[in-house]
Amino acid sequence: MATTTAQDTELAGALVQTMHVLQDLYAETSRPLGLTPQQAHLLCVLLGGPLGMTELSRILSIERSSLTSMVDRLERRDLVARIPNPTDRRALQIELTDPGLALANDAHKAFTTRIDDLTADLSPTARRTLSTALTSIFSRA
């Protein structure tokens, strides 16, 4: 049976606190843009290109019905559009419209600017170490 060390508890606590800080930052940066944090996340994910609903549901960790409602609201605001999937004519993909692309870029910039502000005091070496450690952790998620 594995034992939990103080170091393990400290790391878990730091990761949980990081999650809460990032969620708060998403809320703080999305609100002035007229978006919920979830909508901002969806728009930012779509900066990588159109995706199907199943893939979006997986990436955003939300049920398809909730995703459908969110896409409906964003579509009414002309921020996203449903387009045919080029490899499966039965399926649709979600893509950013021009106004959606502009807002997604604004949301991404606002969020990354706040991250830059929070990490400004880290040395380049500390930044690389943190990035490497987080990438390693996330690759196992």
- Tens-digit pLDDT profile for residues 24-81: 999 999 999 999 999 999 999 999 999 999 999 999 999 999 999 999 999 999 999 9
Closest alpha carbon to 71 in 90, 108, 46: 46
Q: What is the pLDDT of residue 3?
A: 62
Give per-residue pLDDT as tens, 87-127: 888 899 999 999 999 999 999 999 999 999 999 999 999 99
- Residue 124 placed within a domain: no
Tell the burial category of 65 from Cβ atoms under 10 Å away from its Cβ (0-12, 13-18, 19+).
Answer: exposed
Give per-residue pLDDT as tens, 118-130: 999 999 999 999 9
Tally of domains in the chain: 1
pLDDT at 5 > cutoff 80 = no
Closest alpha carbon to 75 in 105, 102, 99, 109: 99
- Residue 23 placed within a domain: no
The residue-averaged pLDDT of 16-25 equals 93
- Residue 19 placed within a domain: no
Q: What is the pLDDT of residue 102?
A: 98
- Residue 40 placed within a domain: yes
- Please give the residue range of the domain that contains residue 71: 33-119
- Residue 51 placed within a domain: yes
Round to whole Å and give the CA distance between 35 and 79: 11
- Residue 27 placed within a domain: no
CB 94 within 8 A of CB 53: yes
- Residue 15 placed within a domain: no
pLDDT at 2 > cutoff 60 = no
Q: What is the pTM of this model?
A: 0.84
* CATH number of the domain that residue 86 is part of: 1.10.10.10
